[in-house]
Amino acid sequence: MRRAIPTIGDMPPVTTLALFAAATLALLLVPGPAVVYIVTRSVSQGRAAGLVSVAGIHAGSVVHVLAAALGISALLAASATAFTLVKYLGAAYLVYLGLRKLYSRAGDLAKEVEPASRSRLFGEGFVVNVLNPKTAIFFLAFLPQFVDPARGPVAAQITVLGLIWIALGVASDGGYAVLSSAFAGRLRRSARAARRLDIASGLVYIGLGALAAFSGEAARKA
């Protein structure tokens, strides 16, 4: 009979956790909807507003962690084939996002917006990340590559990986908030910087899509 309470032995090995942390950090540093929201608020209202936005963003991350822990576990139990199909579709979508970034025109890194209260900043950040396709695809397609059902409850493993995501996300997004508030004036006229970030983002998306498609088994065997 399977243990009801997961133990340390049920968790992914340290090498897998390290690989997951590195891939997570690479994706988190890519400016997506959440980063754009944080930078925009930090530039327009200062560091405190940016950090409140970070808190809202990662309150939204909790929703993704819970959804993944319940949904992926159910999908894996229902059909291994469907589970694999979803992962490959997600990997393809990551590559698509990368190509779209590479061929997009440079946009505004930070736009002027109306000031908002802290409660509104938190609430908007929460909604932005709950509806963030980058976060959803990561949890649906990429995170499962690091889960090994043979090691114990899938939901417990996903929860641990999700907590690592949130911890790294708070650190990286907090860094965006602090730096963007410090360099607010320069960011307002940063078309070249925005284009460079698009190129870097595109390459990261494509790389993670390839890793999701071809390295899942290797990650689980690590």
Q: Tell me, yes or no, whether 134 lies in a domain.
A: yes
Domain contains 210: yes
Name, of 169-178, 186-195, 208-217, the range with top average pLDDT. 169-178
What pLDDT does 8 receive? 55
CA distance 51 to 178: 8
- Residue 67 CA to residue 131 CA, distance in Å, equals 13
| Lowest-confidence pick of 9-13, 14-18, 41-45 | 9-13
What is residue 61's predicted lDDT score, i.e. its pLDDT? 92
Quick one: residue 47, left, alpha or beta (phi over 0 = left, psi -120 to 50 = alpha)? alpha
Using CA atoms, how far apart are residues 60 and 54, in angstroms rounded to an integer? 10
Q: Is residue 1 part of a domain?
A: no
Identify whether 43 is part of a domain. Answer: yes
In tens, the pLDDT along 151-177 reads: 778 888 888 899 999 999 999 999 999
- Please report the pLDDT score of residue 56 as a whole number: 94
Residue 105's domain comprises 13-221
Q: Which residue has the higher pLDDT, 47 or 72?
A: 47
Whether 179 contacts 50, CB under 8 Å: no
186 belongs to a structural domain: yes
- φ/ψ of 85, rounded to 5, equals -60, -45
Answer whether residue 3 is part of any domain: no
Q: Is residue 183's pLDDT more than 50?
A: yes
Distances (CA, A) of 65 to 62, 126, 131, 179, 195: 5, 14, 13, 27, 31
Convert the pLDDT of each residue in 61-113 to its tens digit: 998 898 888 876 666 556 667 666 766 776 777 677 678 767 766 555 555 55
Does a structural domain hold residue 8?
A: no
Domains held by the chain: number: 1
Residue 75 lies in a domain: yes
171 vs 45, residue with greater confidence: 171
Q: Report which listed range, 22-26, 30-34, 109-113, is most confident.
A: 22-26
